[in-house]
Chain A
Amino acid sequence: MKKEQIDTDQLIQNMLDEGPQKPLPHPMWQTSLWLLATLFYLATLSGYFGLRGDIAEKFSEPSYFIDILLLFGLGIFSTFAALCLSRPDGYQMPRLKFVPIGFILAWAILAFGGSAEINVANIFHSMSLGQFDCLWHILLFSTPPGLALFLIVRKGATIQYCWAGTMATLSATAFGYLLMRLIEQNDNPVHLIMWHAVPIILMCIVGMIIGKFALKWR
């Protein structure tokens, strides 16, 4: 529908001729569908790469279990937030986008809080190792679900496009990180920060920028 030099009544009549569009499914329903497809994709990849050898033993450790649980929660809530943000009114839940931040804080405190290994020397040492394979793996795990989520969000009419882009990226990368935790047998907190968490933060910034251009409702 293009606006030309017509009066408002004529415009309304034109819009009536087109009729209303079919409503989008509920964000919860969209989240469930996306989640199912993502879990299937990640399960396939975990089958290909193989889970870490000590997975059964690790799941008996409460901290590891809660770590995984928080990442899963982060993924679900950020997906739901991204899909709510695809509505112009944010599904009228303005504070929802802050829930994933709560998850991130809880997870960061649990995963890295009080770790004596985190110091400047170790961080520089970890950087010098150049373990880019972790970064590529997270990218591989996150990109297809992330793209799918961006496409779903684009079907809406988002006016908080930066937030929507950030949430969509956060969601996909949270699941990527989660899969890395299930595959990679390395629990060194410095490694996890430098080669898992920091790349995810950078990806979220990129997602925010992409959101600004790709998701903006014009």
Chain B
Amino acid sequence: MRLAQQGDKQAYGHVFQQITPILRRFVGNSLNHPEDVEDVVQEILISIHRASHTYDTDRPFKTWIFTIARYRLTDHLRAIYAKSEKGTDIDFDHMTYQLTSDENVTKCYEDREYLSKIMQSLPVKQRKIVNMMKIEGYSAQEVAQLMNMSESAVKVSAHRAYKILALKAAQIVEKEEWNKSNERVMKE
């Protein structure tokens, strides 16, 4: 990036070639449909290009790009929520937070607050691992390095966390269905 800021277009191109797959993986952790992912990745690339003058080469590059990426991704998600609040027909199958492996509970609840609520039920360490892997886009290896754990320990911890999340989600779904059936009985 230092070379790019000095006007080296080849270096600038190299930066984009290097970060694009990382961004794709980062965005892919929050969005399901490849077209949406590509769309947001392009938004982020444009933002990085437009903000290239704000990067100081003495500061870590990764933090800078991920701040921009997170901002644009949040913008995108916010736009989706805003549309859903207005009652626009949104295909929520397009979105997933990939917090459960077997069932996508967001199809039922479609609500970020809901996710953060069930995330609170996790122990701090597991919550941090899920957050890093599924929201911030770190790989298990990176999380292991950052948290001073072995990679397999991170994977096991993440797997347990997903199980807890799936269980919590299933309980809520069950409760909802029970409430609905009660309402039906009352009406009858």
Check B169 for interface membership: any CB of A closer than 8 A: no
Task: State in angstroms the CA–CA spacing of A217 and B41 once bound together.
Answer: 17
Query: Are B54's CB and A20's CB within 8 A?
Result: no
Contact with B along A85-121 (1 / 0, CB 8 A): 0111111100000000000000000000000000000
With A88-B64, A88-B67 as contacts: A19 and B54 at CB distance below 8 Å: no
A82 CB, nearest partner CB in chain B, Å? 14
Within 8 A of A (CB), among B27-67: 38, 41-43, 45-47, 49-57, 59-60, 63-64, 67
> Which of A12, A18, A23 interacts with B53 by CB under 8 Å?
A23
Chain A hits for B49, CB < 8 A: 1, 15, 18, 20
Chain A hits for B9, CB < 8 A: 16, 19
Task: State in angstroms the CA–CA spacing of A79 and B4 once bound together.
Answer: 29
> Which of A12, A16, A88, A156 interacts with B71 by CB under 8 Å?
A88
Within 8 A of A (CB), among B57-110: 57, 59-60, 63-64, 67-68, 71
List the A residue with the shortest CB-CB distance to B17: A12
Residues in A lying within 8 Å of B, measured CB to CB? 1, 3, 8, 11-12, 15-16, 18-24, 26, 86-92, 156-157, 159, 217
Task: State in angstroms the CA–CA spacing of A8 and B145 once bound together.
Answer: 31
14 pairs of residues in contact across A and B, judged by CB atoms under 8 Å: A3-B43, A3-B46, A8-B41, A15-B12, A15-B45, A15-B46, A19-B9, A21-B52, A21-B53, A22-B53, A23-B5, A92-B64, A217-B51, A217-B71
> Which of A8, A16, A23 interacts with B55 by CB under 8 Å?
A23
Chain B hits for A91, CB < 8 A: 56, 59
Task: State in angstroms the CA–CA spacing of A80 and B4 once bound together.
Answer: 26
Check B16 for interface membership: any CB of A closer than 8 A: yes
Chain B hits for A23, CB < 8 A: 5, 52-57
Chain B CB within 10 Å, residue with most, of A20, A22, A23, A24:
A20
Check B157 for interface membership: any CB of A closer than 8 A: no
The interface size of chain B toward A, counting residues with CB under 8 Å, comes to 32
Task: State in angstroms the CA–CA spacing of A90 and B56 once bound together.
Answer: 11
Chain A hits for B56, CB < 8 A: 23, 26, 87, 91
With A3-B42, A19-B12, A159-B71 as contacts: A87 and B54 at CB distance below 8 Å: yes
With A1-B46, A12-B45, A88-B67 as contacts: A157 and B13 at CB distance below 8 Å: no
List the A residue with the shortest CB-CB distance to B60: A92
Chain A hits for B60, CB < 8 A: 92
Check B139 for interface membership: any CB of A closer than 8 A: no
Check B20 for interface membership: any CB of A closer than 8 A: yes
Query: Are B45's CB and A8's CB within 8 A?
Result: yes
Chain B hits for A24, CB < 8 A: 53-54
Query: Are B46's CB and A19's CB within 8 A?
Result: no
With A3-B42, A88-B67 as contacts: A12 and B52 at CB distance below 8 Å: no
Query: Are A20's CB and B64's CB within 8 A?
Result: no
B151 CB, nearest partner CB in chain A, Å? 28
Query: Are B54's CB and A88's CB within 8 A?
Result: yes
List 6 extra interface pairs beyond A12-B45, A15-B49, A20-B12, CB under 8 A: A8-B42, A15-B45, A18-B49, A87-B54, A157-B51, A159-B67
Top-3 shortest CB links A-B: A21-B53, A157-B51, A89-B67
Check B7 for interface membership: any CB of A closer than 8 A: yes
Task: State in angstroms the CA–CA spacing of A142 and B39 once bound together.
Answer: 43
Chain B hits for A12, CB < 8 A: 13, 16-17, 20, 45
Chain A hits for B38, CB < 8 A: 8
Task: State in angstroms the CA–CA spacing of A156 and B67 once bound together.
Answer: 14
Within 8 A of A (CB), among B160-183: none
With A12-B45, A21-B53, A23-B53 as contacts: A88 and B5 at CB distance below 8 Å: no
